[in-house]
Amino acid sequence: MANKKGKGNKGGKSRDDAAWARTDVIEREHMHNERLEKYYKAQNVLPEEEWDQFLETMRNPLPTTFRVAGSRQAARLLNDTIKDVHVPHLAGVVFEGEAVSPPQQIPWYPEGLAWQFNVAKKVLRKSPEFKKFHSFLVFETEVGNVSRQEAVSMLPPLFLEVEPHHRVLDMCAAPGSKTAQLLEALHAHDTITSSSIPSGLLIANDSDYKRTHLLIHQSARLPSPALMVTNLDASIFPAIKIPSEQTIFPSSTKARVAAKKQYQLLFDRILCDVPCSGDGTLRKNPGIWKHWSPMDGNGLHSLQLRILQRAMRMLKKGGRIVYSTCSINPVENEAVVAAALKSIPGFELIDMSNHLPGLVLRPGLTSWKPTVTREINTDFATYQDYIQTLDESQRASSKMLESHWPPSAAEAESLHLSRCLRIYPHLQDTGGFFIAILQKKPPVKAPASRGASKDPSEGKRTADAVEGLDRSDVKKAKLDVEGEAGKGQEADAEPTEDADEELPEEAMEDPTPPMEVDEATPAATSEPKIRFKKGKTAEGASAHFKENPYTFIAPDDPIIKACIEIFDLSSNFPASNLLVRNPAGDSVRSLYMVNDIVKSVVQHNDYARIRLMTCGTKVFGKQEGTEAKREGAETHFRVLSEGLPVVLPYIGPKAIVQADFAALKIFMESYYPLTSGFSESFQSMINAKANGSYVVRFQPGQLEGATLTHELVLPIWKSNVSVMLMLDKRAKSALSMRIFGEDITTAAREAAARKKEKSEATPDAQVDTPVLEEDTAGAPVDETEAVDVPETA
């Protein structure tokens, strides 16, 4: 990731930020930079015979790449549609006398779910075949089934190998394309119609407040109860507290005394797609040719190192970090990795060069030559050689660090820097990229000493199983909790010391001051109530965090009980994991659901301290409209389409209606179809039910050349004489394009009428073609704003 402005993300450029330096009008003959060529030739990043090909490729625009969301309900079916329907239709297309190649699958992406095509914009505008395919992609992108993403940007999550039980941190996440991939991995067990509730979590963080909103919209395409979004400086990311049961054995009585303590949450996987100078994005951001400077990389090195070091201190033993940049500069890449490995023991680079068959890689550099000036002075072999040439005042003002220089040859070999992965544009027609995979060495079980004393007075203590705990690692705690707490909030910015020999890692005492937690009375709810202390916030955070807090509501709340009754929810429905976004806990517009670990984090951390922007997924929303209000308070809430996959496994038969393929077409063609327009079987079922929210299961079938190959489950609202499919316009259009091959919705007909009217009024006007935006396209609309029940039906 290239850099974003803001604390913790300063001074660089974002590979995902299309607004940065987009000077696409630069002519090809001006795509030269003498300093860039001199600097990288000095680094020996490539053999001399590849240099011209490398530069020539850098001057060509990137091909269009996209991927099908791997865990979405119809991901594989959608991919089959692209492969079996659209691609054959695009084969053999000739435009202005030249053959146009159809999309091709990216060879190294798992299951063939990523695609690439290189088509000029005028072809997309004027070729009927490509125009239709492009419209299909735009619709699917808007609803989250397709992600327009640069090919190399897809790589870091694949090397993390996230599993549904993992606790994952994405430290510099905006705009969210990689976050979406991580969510897909957490939801690997999702089915076509329902979503799993993974036991793990994903915290997606970004230091830029505005970009976190983009991140929220991007991740909303794959709603998850396991997601949290925070707005923090990644280099001083605070310790996240979770409670754990720890069993203590007093030496006098040997009685088991259970005590709840606060421990730091450690992560299984951390993605450090850090701020960088971004020269690997030259093909997308040609303006870099004009002002590239090696000092950009030198200046970012320190921040990159701090972020990686912070990640290393938050990782579980056996856990994995992927460090990545879209820079070719070794000062931002191997130099950062080497410095981090030397500063924090217990980590190693792992070799994953064969992880993705078909991906062409080059090994990491083991030696490089940092420049000390913009004019590319690489004459100093070591930091000592350089610093000795400066007088006292020059040394004080110098921004060069010892870690800018490479380690000795022996150190580089012992650090295995060649296990880093480099991707160059000319190898597979991509951008430039760097990846390093670090692993925290798993604990080594020491053999039990035969002569060891078994006297409990030695003060050893064990712990009840914290998830993933190896009891052989449990030793007596030596942490001075009171002394650490006295340091105040500044402790959040300090690295957490490894306590491998004192406590199991997941149960490390948090060095930050504990919050006051009151146990709730049994008469109310079993959830603890948290009083947030007023005072200064963690370093790097704004003193005024304006977002509303999340508040859990009691399972016996009237709204929750009404939802359970209306949707016939099963007894194992996690009603205690529902929350609202307001301080008082009032049920306002939306009810969110989180999983157990997210619930624990929300309950035991000051939301302003961790700057919690959002968490979980909306499952129930208040229905607007006078008719809904007339029905009574219980019917105000309906199941939302984004939350339906999560709650579907709990919904009982009373809230489910069966329908055929013909009924789906009727819903597509009308906003408020009358019940009398459906088949008799559907009429009898729906008319027998009270007005309100229901779920329809559309059965597979064929109709007028269209085929529904799998069961489709969607939410509806029943009124007196009509029913309404509760999808926003874009989602309906995407569904129509996918199933019927064209947009048959009312919105499409209205748009076509407006387009025709406009063209007739101004015949010479050029009609705009929708653009498939990268990473930031089309966030879903809040359904409670997008649709309303008609006041009279």
Distance in angstroms (rounded) separating the CA atoms of residues 176 and 229: 10
- Residue 274, Cβ density class (10 Å: 0-12 exposed, 13-18 middle, ≥19 buried): buried
Q: What's the DSSP call for residue 472? A: G
Q: Which of 326, 420, 563, 615 is catalytic?
A: 326
Residue 259 labeled ligand binder? no
Residue 176 labeled ligand binder? yes
Distance in angstroms (rounded) separating the CA atoms of residues 166 and 187: 11
Residue type, 737: M
- Could you tell me the two tokens for 144? 């989250």
CA 564 distance to own-chain centroid: 31
Distance in angstroms (rounded) separating the CA atoms of residues 303 and 332: 10
Give which of 428, 420, 438 is closest to 359, Cα–Cα: 428
Asked whether the beta carbons of 461 and 477 are under 8 A apart, the reply is yes
Give which of 704, 616, 623 is closest to 664, Cα–Cα: 704
Distance in angstroms (rounded) separating the CA atoms of residues 285 and 391: 40
Residue 273 labeled ligand binder? yes
Residue 330 labeled ligand binder? no
Residue type, 339: A
CA-based torsion, 50, 53, 58, 62: positive or negative: negative
- Could you tell me the two tokens for 109? 């992406």
Strands 421-423 and 433-440: antiparallel
Q: What is the DSSP string of 223-284?
A: --TTEEEE---GGGPPPPEEEEEEEE--TTT---EEEEEEEE--EEEEEEE--B--GGGTTT
Give every strand in the sheet of 656-659, ordered side by side.
Answer: 656-659, 692-698, 712-718, 723-725
Residue 178 labeled ligand binder? yes
- Could you tell me the two tokens for 233? 């400086």
Distance in angstroms (rounded) separating the CA atoms of residues 505 and 440: 12
Residue 175 labeled ligand binder? yes
Q: Is 326 a catalytic residue?
A: yes
Residue type, 492: D
Residue type, 317: K
**What three-state secondary structure class fits 767?**
coil
Angle between helices 729-740 and 128-142 (to 10 degrees): 130
Distance in angstroms (rounded) separating the CA atoms of residues 189 and 169: 20
Residue 296 labeled ligand binder? no
Q: What is the separation, in whole angstroms, between the first and last Cα of the chain? A: 51
Residue 84 labeled ligand binder? no
Give which of 113, 186, 100 is closest to 151, Cα–Cα: 113
Distance in angstroms (rounded) separating the CA atoms of residues 146 and 142: 8
Q: What's the DSSP call for residue 403? A: G
3-state secondary structure string across 770-784: CCCCCCCCCCCCCHH
Distance in angstroms (rounded) separating the CA atoms of residues 708 and 668: 14
- Could you tell me the two tokens for 322? 């992927």
Contacts of 220 (CB under 8 A, 6+ apart): 144, 642, 779, 780
| Integer-rounded Cα radius of gyration of the chain | 29
Asked whether the beta carbons of 111 and 356 are under 8 A apart, the reply is no
Distance in angstroms (rounded) separating the CA atoms of residues 325 and 329: 9
CA 456 distance to own-chain centroid: 47
Asked whether the beta carbons of 140 and 738 are under 8 A apart, the reply is yes
- Could you tell me the two tokens for 202? 């994903």
Cβ burial 298-325 (10 Å sphere, 16+ → b, else e)? bbbbbbbbbbbbbbbbbbbbebbbbbbb
**Which residues are known binding-site members for S-adenosyl-L-methionine?**
172-178, 206, 233, 273
Binding-site residues, in ranges, read 172-178, 206, 233, 273
Q: Catalytic residues, which ones?
A: 326
